[in-house]
């Protein structure tokens, strides 16, 4: 495939993707295709390489039914989506520069030598305290982690679109009630995780209206 054709294929996926409000419940995503989507999430970048996320794939119908009254933005998606994912972000218990999670992530996952990690930890501390003022509140830290999950979210939706699978990102939910439900289901690792965003996947039940966006010159400014 030529470079031009590849570009057109990628742009075609962006044109294809839309926020699907209702899926065809008779069509299911294959295990192979959904593992591909999950792999694009796993390979996504995150600030300082913390990977502060967890992806909960909700296929249990009883849990979907419990979610529906407190997730107003997924009324059409929860009953019809082939796969429904709740993306969790790690809280300050894990993302603070001196946490056990960060130590494990850097030494055992990223394989940074322990003595080097102790040196760079000072930089992480300055980054969180002085550069971005993240340690001003637990909410600031959570919002920062949540930003990282949106990178993975976008990659999952784009990858899905490239293989003809529809999706819909969902922020329309009651945070406190969803948190309580997920805690009851023992999905939050005792306060180390919190709900960031949700996303539904499947195959569209009907064709969407044409995509609308502002022209490029209205959203881009070159500084040369």
CB 198 within 8 A of CB 55: no
Spatial distance between the Cα atoms of 80 and 204, rounded to a whole number of angstroms: 10
Q: pLDDT for 172-219, tens place per residue?
A: 999 999 999 999 999 999 999 999 999 999 999 999 999 999 999 999
Spatial distance between the Cα atoms of 57 and 84, rounded to a whole number of angstroms: 6
Pairing mode of beta strands 193-202, 166-170: antiparallel
Q: pLDDT for 12-52, tens place per residue?
A: 999 999 999 999 999 999 999 999 999 999 999 999 999 99
Phi-psi region of 55 (alpha: psi -120 to 50; beta: other; left: phi over 0): beta
Q: pLDDT for 48-91, tens place per residue?
A: 999 999 999 999 999 999 999 999 999 999 999 999 999 999 99
Spatial distance between the Cα atoms of 183 and 187, rounded to a whole number of angstroms: 6
* Distance set, CA 183 to CA 12, 148, 170, 192 (Å): 40, 22, 20, 11
pLDDT higher than 90, residue 1: no
Rg (Cα) of the chain, in Å, rounded?
19
Each as own residue / partner, the long-range contacts of residues 1-9 (CB below 8 Å, 24 or more positions apart, any chain) are 9/162
Name the pTM for this structure. 0.96
Q: DSSP H helical segments within the chain, as ranges? A: 3-16, 31-42, 61-67, 92-95, 100-104, 114-126, 138-162, 175-184
Instruction: Give the pLDDT confidence score for residue 99 in this predicted structure.
Output: 98
């Amino acid at each position: 495939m030529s470079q031009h054709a590849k570009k057109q294929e990628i742009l075609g996926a962006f044109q294809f993707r839309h926020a699907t409000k209702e899926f065809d419940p008779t069509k299911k995503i294959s295990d192979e295709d959904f593992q591909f989507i999950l792999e694009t999430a796993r390979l996504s970048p995150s600030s300082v390489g913390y990977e502060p996320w967890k992806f909960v794939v909700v296929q249990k119908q009883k849990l979907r039914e419990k979610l529906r009254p407190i997730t107003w933005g997924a009324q059409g998606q929860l009953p019809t989506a082939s796969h429904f994912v709740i993306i969790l972000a790690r809280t300050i218990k894990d993302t603070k520069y001196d946490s056990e999670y960060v130590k494990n992530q850097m030494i055992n996952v990223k394989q940074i030598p322990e003595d080097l990690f102790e040196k760079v930890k000072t930089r992480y501390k300055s980054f969180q305290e002085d550069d971005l003022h993240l340690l001003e509140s637990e909410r600031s830290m959570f919002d920062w982690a949540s930003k990282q999950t949106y990178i993975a979210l976008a990659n999952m939706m784009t990858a899905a679109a490239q293989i003809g699978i529809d999706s819909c990102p969902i922020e329309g939910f009651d945070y406190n009630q969803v948190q309580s439900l997920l805690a009851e289901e023992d999905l939050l690792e005792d306060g180390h995780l919190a709900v960031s965003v949700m996303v539904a996947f499947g195959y569209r039940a009907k064709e969407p209206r044409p995509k609308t966006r502002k022209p490029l010159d209205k959203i881009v400014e070159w500084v040369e």
